[in-house]
Structure 1
Amino acid sequence: MKRMLKQLLIDNSKSSISLTSSRFSEVVLLVGGFCRTRTATPTTVAARGVSSAFTTRSSSRDGKKSIATSSTASSFSSLDGNDDETANTASSASKKKNKYPSKFDSNEKVNKDFTPNRYQTQEENELKTKQMREVKRKEYLEKIVKSENNRDFQSSDHANAIGGDGTVTKYYENVDIREVSSTQNQYEILLDGKPLKSPKRAQFILPNKLLASAIATEWATQEDDLIRPFTMPLMQLSSTALDHMSDYATFDFHVKKLLEFFDADQAVVAHPSGSELREIQLKTLKKVHDWARREFGEQLNLSSDSIFAQPQPEEVKLLMEKRLRSLSPWEMTCTFAAAAAAKSLLIGLALNRNIIDPEEALKCARVEEDYQIERHGFVEGGHDIDISDLRVRLTAPHALNLILKAKMGDDVDILVRNSFM
C-alpha cells in the first residue's frame, strides 16, 4: 500500500493542495479498486509534517521531488502508526472498564452478599463468593439436622428428584401405620418410623384405618429400590383431597369446571339416529340414563345428535350444581377424577354412586372406540395400553369411595380386590 501511495504522490507532485479550510474535505486514495477515506484537521496534519509535503511545489524534477515524496510517505506512515497506538489504548481501556459485566450492577440490589464489588480485586471477590457459599451450605446442613426429628424435611427431598421415567429413588425400608386420634378414627403412615407428609408438606392424616392400610400397601410394594408414583393411585387421590380439595377456592373451581362441560357430556352426545352405533350407545348407557332421569328429572336432555350439544335446561344445571356442592372434599376428588377419565360427569357420578361398576364405566366411556376396533382391528401396544390406563383411572376413585364408606369391620384387601377386578 505504501509503495502504491508513493507512486501516486510522485505522479502528482506538481500539484498543490490548500489547507486553509477548517477541515480536510476527504482525501480519497483509489488504489487497485480499494477506497480509503481519512479526515483530519489542519493543525493535526501540520504537526505531523504532512502540510509541507502537500504545499511544496517542486522546482526541480530530481532533488526536491524525491524529498517531498519521501516526506509525504513518512508522514502517512506516521499517521497509521499513531492510529494503531490509539486503537490499542482504547482496547486496553475498554478491557479495564469492563472488568466485571454490567449485570453485577443489577444483581447488587437483589443479593449484595453474592455480588462482586467492581471496585475490589478479582481475588477479593472470589474469596467473598467462596465464603458466602460455605455459609449457605452450612445453613442447608443445619436445616436437615434440625428437621430430621419432626420430618419437616424428608431425605427424598434432596436425594433424587423425579427421573425422566417418573420414578424416584426409594429412601425407606419399613412401612407402618399409627393411630393419631382414637376418638376421630384418624391414622397416619410411618416410613422408617417417621410420619409421611403430603406433597405440600402438611400432615398426611387419613380418615380411617382401612384407607391407611391400603395406602401403606402401595408404599410397601415398591420394589427395585425405586418409587413409582404412577402405581400409587390411592396415594395420589388422597394427596389431592388433603392438599387441594379442602380449599374452598379450589373446590369451587372444580365444580364450575364440571358444569362447564356438562352440556357436551359423552353420555349425552350420541351418533345420529338410525345408525348401528347409536343403538349400541343407547344400550350400553341405559343404566346411566335411567339413573340420570330419576336423579335430575325427565327434562334432562339425553338425546343430542351433534357434538354441538343442546344446552341442558337451567333447572337441571342448578340441580347438578347443588348435588356437586353437597359433596365432601374426598367425594369431590373421586367424582372429578372419574368424570375426567370417562369424559362424562354423568358416568363419573354414576360410578361413585355405585350405579355402575368400573368395568361398566369402562365400556360406557369407550363405546365408540370399541365399535371402531371391532370393524378396523385391534392395535397391540396402543389400544391395550389405553384400556389398562383408563381402567386404573376409573377403578381408583371407585375403590377410594368404597373404602371411605366402609365400616370398621370390613376387610380392606377384599374391598380393594373386588374393586380392581
Structure 2
Amino acid sequence: MSEWKAKRFWETASVVSVEDGYGIALDGRAVKTPAKQALLVPSRGFAEAIAAEWDAQEDKINPSKMPFTQTANAAIDKVAVQHGEVADMLAAYGDSDLLCYRAEQPVELVARQAAQWDPFLTWVEGALGARLQARSGVMHIAQDPDALAQLSHHVHALNAFELAAFHDLVSLTGSLVLGFAATQNVQPAADIWRVSRLDEVWQAEQWGRDEEAEAAAALKQRAFEHAKVVFDLCTADS
C-alpha cells in the first residue's frame, strides 16, 4: 500500500516579518508546525530557506526534501519545550568526548590522533575555559567537573533554534568540542567532519573501503553540514 502524501495546495510561499521573528505564508496563510505552533524563525535568511523548500515542492509534499522546515519544527515543537533536558544531554558529551579517547597503538594512529585532535583541545581551553584531558584506551575516566560545568554553561546559553542545530553538530561527530568548533568557525565544516572520522579513515586505510559504510557516512556528513548552515542562519543578522 503506497504512503499517502498531502498535495500541494498553494501557488507561492513567502516570508513574512512579524514582531517575534520571521514566518512563512502560503498564499498569505501562515505555516504552522506539526504541533500547531506558529512557524517563526529568528532570521530572514532562515525563513527564506524554508520558503524556498515549500516553493520547490511539486504535486505532492515530500518532507524528506525540506530539511530547513524539519529543523525549525524540531526547534519549536521539541527543543523549546525541553530546552534544559536537551542541553544537559548534549553537555554530557563533554565527559566522554571523542577527542579525549586515544588509541594506545599503533604509533602511527596515536600520532595522527594527537596531530589532528590536540589542537581542538587547546582551542576549547582557550576559547571556552574548559581543559579536557586526553586518555589512552577505552575505559571511561571522568573529566574535571569545573571544565564540564563551563562547557555546560555554554550549551545552556544557546537558544532553541541554535540548540536544535547544535544537537546534530555534536551527536553526528560524537564530540562536544567539535560541535563548538563548528559553531565558532575554527575550521570549515567539511574539515571538522573529516577530523571526526579519523578512526574510520584509518581503518579503511588498513583493511579496505566499505562502500555501505561510506554511503552512510556521506549521509551523516550532509546532515552535519546542513546543521552548520542552520546554526549560522540562526545567528545571522536579521
- Do the two structures share a fold, i.e. TM-score over 0.5? yes
Q: 1:321 aligns with which of 152, 166, 169?
A: 152
Say whether the 8 Å CA contact 1:179–1:185 is kept in structure 2. Answer: no
Q: Which residue in the other structure is 1:340 paired with?
A: 171
**Corresponding residue number in structure 1 for 2:111:** 279
Deviation at 1:274, TM superposition (A): 5.5
Residues 353 and 266 (structure 1), Cα distance of their counterparts in 2 relative to 1, 3 Å cut: same
Tell me: higher relative CO, structure 1 or 2? Use CA pairs within 8 A at least 6 residues apart. 2
Partner of 1:210: 45
Aligned to 2:234: 404
The alignment status of 1:243 with 2:80, answered yes or no, reads no
1:308 paired with 2:148, answer no
Q: Whole-Å Cα distance in 2 between the matches of residues 372 and 279 of structure 1?
A: 15
SS of alignment partner, residue 168 of structure 1: coil
Summarize deviations over 1:57-107 as a string: whole Å, max 9, x none. Answer: xxxxxxxxxxxxxxxxxxxxxxxxxxxxxxxxxxxxxxxxxxxxxxxxxxx
SS in 2 for 1:217: helix
Match of 2:26 among 188, 191, 204: 191
* CA displacement 1:293-349 (0-9 Å, x = unmatched): 213547421x21122231111111111121112221222222122101111111111
Q: Distance in 2 between matches of 1:230 and 1:284?
A: 34
1:341–1:168 CA distance, 2 compared to 1 (3 A) = farther
1:391 to 202, 208, 221: 221
User: What TM-score, normalized by structure 1, do the two folds share?
Assistant: 0.52
CA drift at 1:209:
1.8
Query: Identity of counterpart residues, as a percentage?
Result: 21
> Residue 196 of structure 1: CA displacement?
1.1
Structure ranking higher in helix proportion: 2
Aligned length: 238
What is the DSSP-based 3-state SS (H/G/I as helix, E as strand, rest coil) of the residue aligned with 1:399? helix
Q: Secondary structure at the match of 1:187?
A: strand
Rate the CA distance shift 1:168–1:276 in 2: closer, same or farther, 3 A. Answer: farther
Report the Cα offset of residue 351 of structure 1. 0.7
Deviations 1:95-121 (A, max 9, x none): xxxxxxxxxxxxxxxxxxxxxxxxxxx
Amino acid in the other structure paired with 2:117: L
Q: Deviations over 1:139-195 (max 9, x none)?
A: xxxxxxxxxxxxxxxxxxxxxxx93xxx834333423224242xx473221234422
Structure possessing the higher radius of gyration over alpha carbons: 1
Alpha-carbon distance change, 361 to 168 in structure 1, aligned in 2, over 3 angstroms: farther
Deviation at 1:214, TM superposition (A): 0.7
Matched with 1:360 is 191
Give the corresponding residue for 2:200.
Answer: 369
* Corresponding residue of 2:97: 265
Deviation of 1:399 after TM superposition, in Å, equals: 0.5
> What is the CA–CA distance in structure 2 between the aligned matches of 1:185 and 1:259, rounded to whole Å?
28
Give 1:415's aligned residue.
Answer: none
Look up the match of 1:70: none
- Separation in structure 2 between the aligned mates of residue 214 and residue 255 of structure 1, nearest angstrom: 26
- Report the alpha carbon displacement of residue 245 of structure 1 after superposing the two structures with TM: 2.2
Distance, in Å, in 2 between the alignment partners of 1:377 and 1:175 is 49
CA offsets per residue over residues 325-380 of structure 1, 9 Å max, x none?
22212222221221011111111111112112221121122111111112222233
| Residues in 1 aligned to 2:125 and 2:195: alpha-carbon distance in whole angstroms | 17
Counterpart residue type for residue 205 of structure 1? L
| Structure 1 counterpart SS, 2:95 | coil
Work out whether residues 245 and 332 of structure 1, in 8 Å CA contact, stay in contact via their aligned partners in 2. Answer: yes
Counterpart check, 1:351 vs 2:182: yes
One-letter identity of the residue aligned with 2:217: I
Counterparts of 1:298 and 1:304, CA distance in 2? 16
Is the Cα contact below 8 Å between 1:358 and 1:391 reproduced in 2? no
For structure 2, list consecutive stretches of 5 or more residues without a partner in the other structure.
none
Residue 200 in structure 1 maps to residue 35 in structure 2: yes
- Which letter does structure 2 place at the counterpart of 1:366? R
Structure 1 counterpart of 2:56, one-letter code = T
Structure 2 counterparts to residues 118-157 of structure 1, below 5 A: none
Counterpart of 1:292 (choices 124, 139, 161) is 124
Corresponding residue for 2:210?
379
Shift of 1:197: 0.9
Structure 1 residue 286: deviation in Å?
Answer: 4.0
